[in-house]
Amino acid sequence: MKIVILGSGNVATILGKALVDAGYDIVQVWSRKFENAKILAGYLDSDATDDLTQIRPDADLYLISVTDDAISSISNHLGSVKGVIAHTSGSTSIDVFSGKCAHYGVFYPFQTFSKEKPVPFKEIPVLIEAIDQTALSTLKEVAHSVSDTVKEYNSAQRTQLHIAGVFASNFTNHLYSIAERLLTESQMDFDLLRPLILETATKVQRLLPEAAQTGPAIRNDRNTMAVHQKQLANQPDLLAIYKLLSDHIITPLPRK
């Protein structure tokens, strides 16, 4: 199977390497900046281009791995290709391709990616959605070759998962940044938190998060929370976050 990758960022890089490792032929890499396309193409033993009018028309699969707001404009240039077109976005509907091509879908690897830190792709869930059986068969084949967990979810479900991922990963990582800043202000090392972060992440591999919750808010320890809030009094943005999260732990939203 011949594959064209459109994009050269974190997802395109990690996914491209996984596809090559699975035996696929990446025949072309496109990026807005030719230098970026050339770098990734070099890793994948592929051709590089920054010209959408020069995209090869003979590939079996075209994977669009760019920012969400660029997917539609890029797909406008792919109407003449015969292969399956798919984007790798968590929150962009499959309908972004409607009326533009015959066979299309979504190929969404659900993980946080950084070029500098390889991840075992087999452990990453891949969520797929397809407009027809042709697209579904192609995306299933590729997904199962690179991942041990492949699920079919529609666009609404995928968006909900993406939101959940923002809370679980992006927001959590930002809270790590806040914690690091607080320690730095008191001339303490972030390394002190690493065992705590690791244990918290390890626990939710075997417990549901509610069962793993600890800390003053879940105990409704008002005295400790008052001390913390007094300490944060001169940082109103952090105080607001502290109060909001503590209140939500004490009185969580009801489940639907």
What CATH code is assigned to 158-250? 1.10.1040.20
| Identity of the amino acid at 211 | A
Q: Which CATH superfamily is domain 2-153 in?
A: NAD(P)-binding Rossmann-like Domain (3.40.50.720)
79: pLDDT strictly greater than 90: no
Confidence of residue 117 (pLDDT cuts 50, 70, 90): confident
97: pLDDT strictly greater than 90: yes
- Residue entry with tokens 């600890």: 214
Segment 23-29 shows an average pLDDT of 96
115: pLDDT strictly greater than 90: no
253: pLDDT strictly greater than 70: no
Q: How many CB atoms lie within 10 A of CB 96?
A: 18
Task: Give per-residue pLDDT as tens, 129-158.
Answer: 999 999 999 999 999 999 999 999 999 999
pLDDT, position 8? 94
Segment 181-190 shows an average pLDDT of 96
| Coil/strand/helix, residue 120 | coil
Q: Which residue has the higher pLDDT, 223 or 119?
A: 223
Segment 73-83 shows an average pLDDT of 90
208: pLDDT strictly greater than 80: yes
The radius of gyration computed from the CA coordinates of the chain, to the nearest angstrom, equals 22
Backbone angles phi, psi at 114, to 5 degrees: -140, 135
- Residue entry with tokens 């009018």: 53
Confidence of residue 116 (pLDDT cuts 50, 70, 90): confident
For residue 167, CA distances in Å to 34, 83, 88, 160, 172 come to 35, 35, 20, 11, 7
Q: How far is Cα 252 from Cα 256, in angstroms, rounded to an integer?
A: 12
165: pLDDT strictly greater than 80: yes
Task: Give per-residue pLDDT as tens, 216-236.
Answer: 999 999 999 999 999 999 999
252: pLDDT strictly greater than 80: no
Q: How far is Cα 42 from Cα 48, in angstroms, rounded to an integer?
A: 8
Segment 100-116 shows an average pLDDT of 90
DSSP letters, 140-207, are HHHHHHH-S-EEE--HHHHHHHHHHHIIIIIIHHHHHHHHHHHHHHTT--GGGGHHHHHHHHHHTTTS
Confidence of residue 174 (pLDDT cuts 50, 70, 90): very high
| Contact status, residue 89 vs residue 109, Cβ threshold 8 Å | no
Confidence of residue 118 (pLDDT cuts 50, 70, 90): confident
Segment 78-104 shows an average pLDDT of 92
Domain boundaries, the chain: 2-153, 158-250
| Contact status, residue 34 vs residue 49, Cβ threshold 8 Å | yes
Q: How far is Cα 210 from Cα 157, in angstroms, rounded to an integer?
A: 22
User: Residue 253 carries which DSSP code?
Assistant: P
Of 59, 54, 76, nearest to 19 (Cα)?
A: 59
